[in-house]
Amino acid sequence: MSSLRKDALSILSFSLKACDPSCAIKDRIQVKREKLWVDRRTSYDLRSFKRIFILGAGKASARMAYAMEEILREKISSGIIITKKGHGVKLKKVDLVEGGHPLPDKSGIQATKNMLRLLSGTAIDDLVIFLLSGGASALLVSPVSGISLTDKIKLTHQLLRCGADIKEINTIRKHISQVKGGRLAQLAQPSQILTLVLSDVIGDRIEFVGSGPTSPDSTTFSHCLKIITKYKLKDKIPTSVYSYLKEGAEGKILETPKPGDPVFKKVKNVIIGSNKMALREAKKRAEALGYEVFVLPRPVAGDTTRAALGHVDLIRRIKKKGEPISPPACIISGGETTVKVKGKGLGGRNQEFALVAAMGIKDMKKVVLLSAGTDGTDGPTDAAGAICDGETVKRALKEGMDPQRYLDQNDSYHFFQKLGDLIITGPTQTNVMDIHLILIGE
């Protein structure tokens, strides 16, 4: 393995450690003299609450709950956490359920029912601490009447394939759910709610993280129909879903609670971590390894191919002109791209990003590119992403593999698997979008 590859993997490892949600909780939440402090600015007098419940959903929610148990200990009455299968940790006071992701399942349905049953018994002198991270949209599952779990799965499958971004996907998810889009806050009345959020969305807009169960919703049923039209989904999604959204747009169904709704008067949503944590630690590690570092100022979003080619153009500029920095150089970016799935292969946005880049940097010397999801899962695979260099395409051709054919089939997983270039981290129990690393040697 080249030193550039080793360095790229080292930078990724350090950045993932910095994203530990347990550490993020402990950095922001403290208990002093019977008061729960958030960022040393907002406090909750724990003596004023009869009961404290810990609820949550998302890939990082188990680690978040672990930290809250260490902070609050015996003060916790009970709770329920729903995380992705394989992402759980041992909890003492809080029940842990592992559900399906990215497609919801019966475990998620039942756990959500249990959570709603618990909320129905909360009172004015109770404190509900909700731990929210990416993945909650699939794990916190309670479709409106008339829409079945099968319908929800079919809808999710189409949304994930069409090229829609997470905000568009979650706009629709909010409007067919009894818990998303602020509706969990409605159900938790009249208790006090503190939601701690580990963001996995560009711009850190809380209403789109996990479809914003305790956040005001700025989107509408009309927005949902526009998204369906944009991606030509009307004939691909279940009739029950389209009919429900259409009735909502016609004003026949009550909208999700909006900004200014009194239901949020006793709700506080706080972001405790985001993609910036990963990028910040990556920069520190790269500098320690002797690289000049440039962090892209804007999150990477939109079409995966376009984003990858943009990174290839940046590599060319650095190698030819030494702009914006000179080798040994490290370019760091973060965000979340989208893939319109046309083939029948296996992969994810990070693996596809790396495959497109591999073709773009063909035969370039001393260049390595890595793209990975901080949650350890890229698409419906066991890989976090992939790593490539100027020799990747040449090695593939020697093995009789045509990179373009793999790309056309959206089969980046099997391409990199055969080359031994998949990045396998296992569940990281965090989730703050993706990280892309480019290393250019002298």
Q: Are residues 248 and 189 in the same domain?
A: yes
Residue 2 domain-assigned (yes or no): no
Residue 342: domain span? 276-440
- Phi, psi angle pair for 44, to nearest 5°: -125, 125
For residue 360, what is the domain's CATH number? 3.40.1480.10
Q: Are residues 260 and 191 in the same domain?
A: yes
Q: Quick one: pLDDT band at residue 329, thresholds 50, 70, 90?
A: very high
Residue 171 domain-assigned (yes or no): yes
Section 33-46 average pLDDT: 94
The pLDDT tens digits of the residues spanning 343-364 come to 999 999 999 999 999 999 999 9
The pLDDT tens digits of the residues spanning 131-147 come to 999 999 999 999 999 99
175-to-170, 218, 241, 330 alpha-carbon distances in Å: 9, 11, 10, 42
Q: How many Å apart are CA 148 and CA 104, to the nearest integer?
A: 11
Residue 264: per-residue pLDDT: 98
For residue 160, what is the domain's CATH number? 3.40.50.10180
Q: Are residues 252 and 320 in the same domain?
A: no
Residue 389 domain-assigned (yes or no): yes
Q: How many Å apart are CA 281 and CA 331, to the nearest integer?
A: 13
Write down which residue in 273, 290, 321 finishes a domain: 273
Residue 326: per-residue pLDDT: 96
**Tally of structural domains, the chain:** 2
Q: How many Å apart are CA 430 and CA 273, to the nearest integer?
A: 10
Residue 40: per-residue pLDDT: 87
The pLDDT tens digits of the residues spanning 118-175 come to 999 999 999 999 999 999 999 999 999 999 999 999 999 999 999 999 999 999 999 9
Write down which residue in 249, 273, 297 finishes a domain: 273
Residue 432: per-residue pLDDT: 96
Q: Are residues 431 and 286 in the same domain?
A: yes
Residue 6 domain-assigned (yes or no): no
Residue 286 domain-assigned (yes or no): yes
Residue 3 domain-assigned (yes or no): no
| Average per-residue pLDDT for the chain | 97
CA-nearest of 201, 213, 178 to 55 is: 213
Q: Are residues 263 and 319 in the same domain?
A: no
434-to-66, 103, 109, 356 alpha-carbon distances in Å: 24, 20, 28, 16
Residue 209: per-residue pLDDT: 98
Q: Are residues 269 and 281 in the same domain?
A: no
Helix residue ranges per DSSP H, 231-303: 239-249, 275-288
Three-state SS sequence of 225-250: HHHHHHCCCCCCCCHHHHHHHHHHHC
Q: Are residues 43 and 70 in the same domain?
A: yes
Q: Quick one: pLDDT band at residue 378, thresholds 50, 70, 90?
A: very high
* Residue 313 φ/ψ region, left for φ over 0, alpha for ψ in the -120 to 50 degree band, beta for the rest: alpha
Residue 51: per-residue pLDDT: 98
Q: Are residues 242 and 345 in the same domain?
A: no
- Phi, psi angle pair for 181, to nearest 5°: 60, 40
Q: Are residues 296 and 260 in the same domain?
A: no
Section 322-349 average pLDDT: 96
Q: Are residues 243 and 284 in the same domain?
A: no
- DSSP label at 188? T
Section 90-102 average pLDDT: 97
Residue 2: per-residue pLDDT: 83
Q: Are residues 54 and 78 in the same domain?
A: yes
Question: At residue 1, does pLDDT exceed 60?
Answer: no
Q: Are residues 84 and 114 in the same domain?
A: yes
Question: At residue 200, does pLDDT exceed 70?
Answer: yes
Tokens at 309, concatenated: 């080619």
pLDDT over 70 percentage in the chain? 100
Helices vs. strands in the chain: H and E counts, helices first: 16, 16
239-249 and 149-161 helices, crossing angle to 10° = 80
Residue 123: per-residue pLDDT: 97
* Cα dihedral value 37, 42, 46, 47, nearest 10: 130
Section 199-204 average pLDDT: 95
Write down which residue in 228, 254, 273 finishes a domain: 273
Residue 265 domain-assigned (yes or no): yes
The pLDDT tens digits of the residues spanning 214-271 come to 999 999 999 999 999 999 999 999 999 999 999 999 999 999 999 999 999 999 999 9
